[in-house]
Amino acid sequence: MYARQVDDQTLTLFVAGRLLGNNLVMQDRETESYWSHMLGEAGAGPLKGKKLQQVPAVMTDWQSWSKHHPEGTVVVLRRNTTSYVRESFKPDREFVLGVVLNDKATAWSFDLLAKTPARNDQLGDKPVLVAFDPKSATARVYERELGGRVLTFHLIDDQLTDQETGSTWDPVVGLAVAGPLEGQHLLPLPAIVSYTNAWKDIHPHSQICSAE
């Protein structure tokens, strides 16, 4: 997901019907510049070199999301292909969760996350949690530092739990649902769920953490 304001202009973007390295290409109606879906960067046109600001978003199912956002709404689009369901992400090795931080790309394969749904990792000097909810196939990256303290996460009785306080967390929204930290949120990092090959095409030097 990207903010669609560039400089002082709000853009209207649509799928251009082209591919760049197995990735969709977008075009804006205002300047007819072409944009990389994966990079959020204009590759051709008057805005070439400009970048859209990536904002955190989550790809999950409605049941998981509406549990925490009962007043939320959903857009139902007519499609001519199979609906997106949990089975859409099988086999897991075909998908990654990718992050670009300080111009360095890192990705975690879904097969790895399925085996280790709570991963305490490090992106440069930033401690992060890579969390995976198998029921909804939701993968997210959160900062592990909260209130000046770095938390360490594990699965205890299938619940995401931090070692320092024993609080339990919802991996879909990064919310502490019980324990001393109940009600507090982890800060999500902007991340993209992508086909593995598409991620490699755009980020050929990316580190990819996999189960193999």
Amino acid identity of residue 134, one-letter, is P
On whether the CB atoms of residues 42 and 34 are closer than 8 A, the answer is: yes
pLDDT digits (tens, 9 = 90+) for 73-114: 887 766 655 555 555 555 566 899 999 998 899 999 999 999
User: Tell me, what's the pLDDT at 103?
Assistant: 87
User: Tell me, what's the pLDDT at 88?
Assistant: 57
Name the band, by pLDDT with cuts 50, 70 and 90, for residue 38. Answer: confident
CA nearest neighbour of 38 among 207, 188, 208, 201: 201
**Residue 52: both structure tokens together:** 């859209």
pLDDT average, residue stretch 141-151: 96
pLDDT over 90 at 29, yes or no: yes
On whether the CB atoms of residues 149 and 137 are closer than 8 A, the answer is: no
User: Tell me, what's the pLDDT at 87?
Assistant: 56
Backbone angles phi, psi at 127, to 5 degrees: -75, 130
Sign of the CA dihedral 38, 193, 108, 208? negative
Domain coordinates of the chain in residue numbers?
A: 2-54, 62-209
On whether the CB atoms of residues 64 and 133 are closer than 8 A, the answer is: yes
pLDDT average, residue stretch 8-18: 88
User: Tell me, what's the pLDDT at 16?
Assistant: 83
Pairwise CA distance, residues 80 & 77, whole Å: 10
Mean pLDDT score across all residues of the chain: 88
Residue owning tokens 């669609």: 4
Our CA angle for 76, 78, 84, nearest 5°, is: 70
Pairwise CA distance, residues 182 & 176, whole Å: 5
Domain 62-209 has CATH 3.90.550: no
HEC sequence for 7-49 = CCEECCEEEEEEEECCEEEEEECCCCCEEECCCCEEEECCCCC
Other C-beta atoms lying within 10 Å of the C-beta of residue 22: 14
Name the band, by pLDDT with cuts 50, 70 and 90, for residue 20. Answer: confident
User: Tell me, what's the pLDDT at 208?
Assistant: 92
Q: Distance of alpha carbon 71 from its chain centroid, rounded?
A: 23
CA nearest neighbour of 18 among 1, 33, 2: 33
Given its phi and psi angles, is residue 183 left (phi above 0), alpha (psi -120 to 50 degrees) or beta? left
3-state secondary structure at position 109? strand
